[in-house]
Amino acid sequence: MDKELKQLQEKINYDKTFDCVQCGYCLPACPTYETMKKETHSPRGRINLVKEYAEGKISVEDLKEPIDKCLGCNACTVVCPTNVQYGKILEGAKHVIEEKRTKSKKEEWVENLIFDKVFPSRKWMKRIGNVSWLYQKSGLQSLAQKIKMTSIAPLHLDQFEKVLPDLPSPTKRKSRPKVIKAEGETRMRVGFFTGCIMDSVFFEINKKTIELLIKAGCDVVIPETQTCCGALHAHSGKVESSRQLAKQNMIAFEEEHVDVIVNNAGGCGARLVEYEELFTDEQWKEKAKSFVEKTRDVSQILYEALDQIEFTRPINDIVTYQTSCHMINVQKVTKEPFELLQSIPGIEYRQFKGYDRCCGSAGIYNMLNYDDAMDILDKKMTHVKVSRAHTIVTTNPGCLLQMKLGIQREGLQGKMRAVHLVELLHEAEPVSKERQVTAISNNA
Ligand code: SF4
Ligand code: SF4
């Protein structure tokens, strides 16, 4: 076989495509097959295309569109009876497509700026947060919306900026300490993975996450040299950049000697638990193994600490939950958010049909494939409305913005809201039981 073809087959994980027995069990689970109704836009169809491409039977152009339209939600891997590693096949295909892509100098410059400078830099992300705060507070946002100036923004950013939360002032951002001590006795030393979007746009959710963790008996450390998880890089076929970011994060948390590494974003968490697969050399593989073993979603830590906290404010509301695909299909965190929600006094929990299917956000899929993502979202909102819930809970920033957008598209602002799980738990005003007991005995 020609050497180039052999190398391509290795890169694209050709051998893994043979695990697919074409049974079609994955078809009903695939959101893009449901909305686009094409075999090429199903898991089985995409695997076949990758195989044909790796055998030199089709061109990269034939492969590109079906792969670009895949959400990467991993719903197909969960139902597959032969355990096809679709995620690996998808990542390989994206890597090869990216390598073959011809870019103009301008495109290359913009991509390098976004992927190599902006996302990996905490400074840059802070700056973006501060500029957005100024945009909101100076009245520029209202003016731009009034004169419809936002409609000229690319990638449908005008739609997303309408549902952005209120951003914190630069002073508030600056005042966060690096180490925050537990309330009461320390149960564990937790390293908090802040995420890039979470820490710039959803800074308040990060703040509430820390507050919940300290009530659950955790000393919280925020390593300053941590960086982006690398999910966006990997989903865009930039494997080497993703590997470098993983290395930086592993070193940052290793230096802090933490017991556990906690995140609050389903998509980032999924990337963090996949770090081991990025390396072949023993030394980095070993480091990655230890990193992955320590990685947890915040819901797992809070669930384990449920007997140590008490919610003091009932939330009399009908609540539903839109899962994060990466959290349930990759991290396999399933029961904890449900259990936490149902432990809040006053809540009436109602599950809607398809709660565990992708909402169409999928990283930046909804920006790059806006119309397809909105088809998926609109379908979801029809089921959400049937539940008659007033609050939709999510566990990932992308899903949160997408569900806010869904509420807006349905004209339900003021009647329905979307929140992160951490926000709802915080709203229920949890207190540390140990601290309560200490306060009572001090007063006696
Ligand atoms: S369920 Fe698995 S084996 Fe069956 S068609 Fe889908 S990917 Fe292939
Ligand atoms: S990852 Fe999601 S969208 Fe892509 S093929 Fe699998 S089920 Fe379909």
Mean pLDDT score across all residues of the chain: 91
DSSP class per residue in 360-371: S-TTTHHHHTHH
Q: Please check whether residues 388 and 345 belong to one and the same domain.
A: yes
* Residue 352 CA, ligand 1 centroid: distance in Å: 26
Q: Please check whether residues 378 and 423 belong to one and the same domain.
A: yes
CATH at residue 395: 3.40.50.11810
Residue list, ligand 2 pocket, CB within 6 Å: 29-32, 43, 46, 70-76, 86
- The answer, yes or no, to whether residue 395 has pLDDT greater than 90, is yes
Q: Please check whether residues 199 and 251 belong to one and the same domain.
A: yes
Residue 437 is assigned to a structural domain of this protein: no
Q: Please check whether residues 92 and 194 belong to one and the same domain.
A: no
| Higher per-residue confidence, 348 vs 145 | 348
Residue with CA nearest ligand 2 atom 2 = 73
* Residue 84 near ligand 1, beta carbon < 6 Å: yes
Q: How many domains does the chain have?
A: 4
Residue with CA nearest ligand 2 atom 8 = 30
Nearest ligand by distance to the CA of 329: 2
Q: Coil, helix or strand for 61?
A: helix
In this predicted model, what pLDDT tens digit does every residue of 200-224 receive, in sequence order?
A: 889 999 999 999 999 999 999 999 9
- Give pLDDT, residue 436: 63
Residue 63 is assigned to a structural domain of this protein: yes
Q: Please check whether residues 322 and 391 belong to one and the same domain.
A: yes
In this predicted model, what pLDDT tens digit does every residue of 264-289 receive, in sequence order?
A: 999 999 999 999 999 999 999 999 99
* Residue 28 near ligand 1, beta carbon < 6 Å: no
Q: Please check whether residues 14 and 36 belong to one and the same domain.
A: yes
Last residue within a domain, chosen from 100, 129, 151: 100
Residue with CA nearest ligand 2 atom 4 = 70
- Give pLDDT, residue 113: 81
Ligand 1 atom with the shortest distance to the CA of 82: 3
Q: Please check whether residues 218 and 138 belong to one and the same domain.
A: no
Q: Which residues contact 331 (CB under 8 A, 6 or more apart)?
A: 266, 269, 270, 273, 297
Residue 218 is assigned to a structural domain of this protein: yes
Ligand 2 atom with the shortest distance to the CA of 33: 8
Q: What average pLDDT score do residues 36-53 get?
A: 97
- The answer, yes or no, to whether residue 443 has pLDDT greater than 70, is no
- The answer, yes or no, to whether residue 440 has pLDDT greater than 60, is no
Q: Would you report the helix, strand and coil content of the chain in percent, each value rounded to 5?
A: 60, 10, 30
Nearest ligand by distance to the CA of 68: 2
Q: Please check whether residues 225 and 132 belong to one and the same domain.
A: no
Q: What average pLDDT score do residues 109-126 get?
A: 81
Pairing relationship of beta strands 317-321 and 347-349 according to DSSP bridges: parallel
Last residue within a domain, chosen from 100, 133, 148: 100
* Residue 23 CA, ligand 1 centroid: distance in Å: 5
Q: Please check whether residues 81 and 111 belong to one and the same domain.
A: no
Q: Check: CB of residue 421 under 8 Å from CB of residue 394.
A: yes
Q: Residue 356: which domain range?
A: 310-430
- Give pLDDT, residue 133: 80
In this predicted model, what pLDDT tens digit does every residue of 167-205 receive, in sequence order?
A: 888 888 888 899 999 998 999 999 999 998 899 889 999
- Give pLDDT, residue 211: 96
DSSP assigned state of 391: E
Confidence of residue 441 (pLDDT cuts 50, 70, 90): low
Confidence of residue 110 (pLDDT cuts 50, 70, 90): confident
* Residue 158 CA, ligand 1 centroid: distance in Å: 39
Q: Check: CB of residue 377 under 8 Å from CB of residue 346.
A: no
| Higher per-residue confidence, 140 vs 391 | 391
Token digits for 350?
């109602």
Per cent of the chain over pLDDT 90 is: 71
